Each structure stands twice: as structure tokens, then as C-alpha cells.
A = this chain, B = another copy of it.
Amino acid sequence: MFGGFYLALKEAIKSTLVTQVIAQMKGLIEEGEWVVGTRIPPEPELVKQLGVSRNTVREAVQALVHMGLLETRQGDGTYVRSQSELGATLMRRLRRSGVEETLEVRHCLEREAARLAALRRSDEDVQILRLCLKLHDEAMRCRNIEDFLSADLALHHAIVAAAHNSVMLDLYDHMSEAVRASISSMIPKLDHVLVHRLLDLHHELVEAVIAKNAEAAEVAARKHDEVVQTMLQERATQESEA
């Protein structure tokens, strides 16, 4: 990599107290200190910890609410709604379009990631990939839908992670999160033949990445996508019949 060449930045100098608090709370959320779905400390607690006035805390909280990161419930408390601003914003944007468009972009990232992963994967990546594949096969036997979906997403995440491009990984993860509900509702009606074909392709894909064979990895990713496309079309015909 040819380093030291970053995007032009303009902000930096602007820092009110509220802005700092926002940055700090956003940091806590994005670092995972404040877990999604849980309740954050009550306002008096935040006032003590951050050392600012209650008004400032309130203003920062409201800003984060409007950004989609937090959610306030009267008489209850404020909860974490999303782990990243990009995720929340992207989610709002993706909701305006059909799932097909999101899946198409997601696959596009996946295919390039497969190619790059074959070129760049580390030894540590290999270990993670093998582990994911093992869990994936086990979850398959248990036939628990949610567990299987989680294992599937973890495997694909690991492949994209092995490409070592953080922007690509972020976009991919957020898109996976966005389509998860849709996919989950789709799985129960699947053709078993296709599912097994999918599992074979997962093995083929991982092996290609481990073998550092970029072309094979890309081909496997493409075949994987074609199977998913077929599943979607089957589901569509089922829907129109019902």
C-alpha cells in the first residue's frame, strides 16, 4: 500500500461542548461499550461522568436520537438503537428501495471481496474461515433457522473481512443487517436441493480463498449469487401463486 494519502478534511476546528459530548457518546456506542438494545445510564449519571450540565447532555442525546443512534422512551430511559451512524443512515436509505437492489450491491461487494481475500488473506484469516465453516456445517444439521442464518452471515463476514478493506467490510455488514429480516422470512420455504448446492459452494469459496486462487474464488462467489437469485425467483413465484 502507498500510504499517507488521505481525503481532504475541513472540519476539525469546530468544537462546542455539545459536539464533544456527541463525539464521546458516539464513540462509546461504536466501540460497543453501550450495546445495541440496552439502556444507557440515566441523565444524572451522565452529568457526573462527563462533567457537563444536564442541558448539554440532553442536547447531545437529542442529536443522537435524530441521527438514529438512540431512542428515548418517556419515564423509562434512552436505549441504543443502532451501533453506527452509517448503519442507521444507510438503513433509512435502503428502506426506500426494494431488497433486490440492496442484494445486488451486496453481492457485488462480496464477489470483489472474494477475489481480494484470495490475494490478501492472512494465516489468521484462514483459521477464522475454517472455524466459521465448521460452525456453519453444525448449524446446518440442527435445522434451527436463526442459528443457521447467523452462521451463514458470520461466514460471509469472515470472507469479506479477509479482503482487508474496512470500507468494503462496513458497507457489507450494514447491508447484511438491512436484509437479514427479509432473508430470514425467506428461508423456511427453500428447496433442499438448492440449499445443499449453496453449502457446497461455501466450501468451494473458502477453499479457493485459502488456496489463494483469486479466479476460483470469484467464480465460486458468482455461482453462489446465481443460486441465491434462483431462490429469490422461486420465492417470487410462490408468492404470486398464494
Name the contact of A66 in the complex, choosing from B63, B95, B171, B233 (C-beta under 8 A).
B63
Indicate whether A102 reaches chain B with its CB closer than 8 angstroms.
yes
Indicate whether A142 reaches chain B with its CB closer than 8 angstroms.
no
The reply to whether B1 and A95 form a contact with Cβ atoms under 8 Å apart is no
The reply to whether B167 and A101 form a contact with Cβ atoms under 8 Å apart is yes
What DSSP secondary structure best describes chain A's contact surface?
helix
The reply to whether B98 and A6 form a contact with Cβ atoms under 8 Å apart is yes
Name the contact of A93 in the complex, choosing from B170, B178, B236 (C-beta under 8 A).
B170
The reply to whether A7 and B95 form a contact with Cβ atoms under 8 Å apart is yes
**A residues whose Cβ falls under 8 Å from a Cβ of B:** 1-3, 5-9, 19, 22, 59, 62-63, 66-67, 85-86, 89-90, 92-95, 97-102, 104-105, 108-109, 111-112, 116, 165-168, 170-171, 178-179, 181-182, 232-233, 235-236, 239
